Amino acid sequence: MHGDGLREFAAGHRYIQGPGALGRMWELAQGLGARVALVADAGVLAILGPSVMAGAAVGRDTVLPFAGEITADAIGRLVAQASKGRPEVIV
């Protein structure tokens, strides 16, 4: 937030939500690249795991559970984990 009360929000170019969006996540991501890495909250994965995993290409797509604070070290660990699968798309 700026000192004058102005707020700024920046986001990626594509944002999809609504009924069935989670079920189409992998299909939509795979349309952007052959190998997809998903960074997801570990708690959400514990609740929605089967729904999240449906559509992932076994042996090609990667799910990286994350819990904790987003720090430079945490990002470095995620990058190292994701790099093993050589993703073309990160969700």
Which helix (DSSP H) or strand (DSSP E) does residue 6 occupy? none
Alpha-carbon distance of 39 to 80, in angstroms, equals 13
This prediction's pTM: 0.78
Residue for token digits 């790099």? Answer: 83
**Residue of 74, 76, 65 lying closest to 41 (CA atoms):** 65
pLDDT tens figures, 20-64: 888 899 999 999 999 999 999 999 999 998 888 888 998 899 999
- What pLDDT was estimated at residue 1? 52
Q: In this predicted model, which residue has the larger pLDDT, 17 or 78?
A: 78
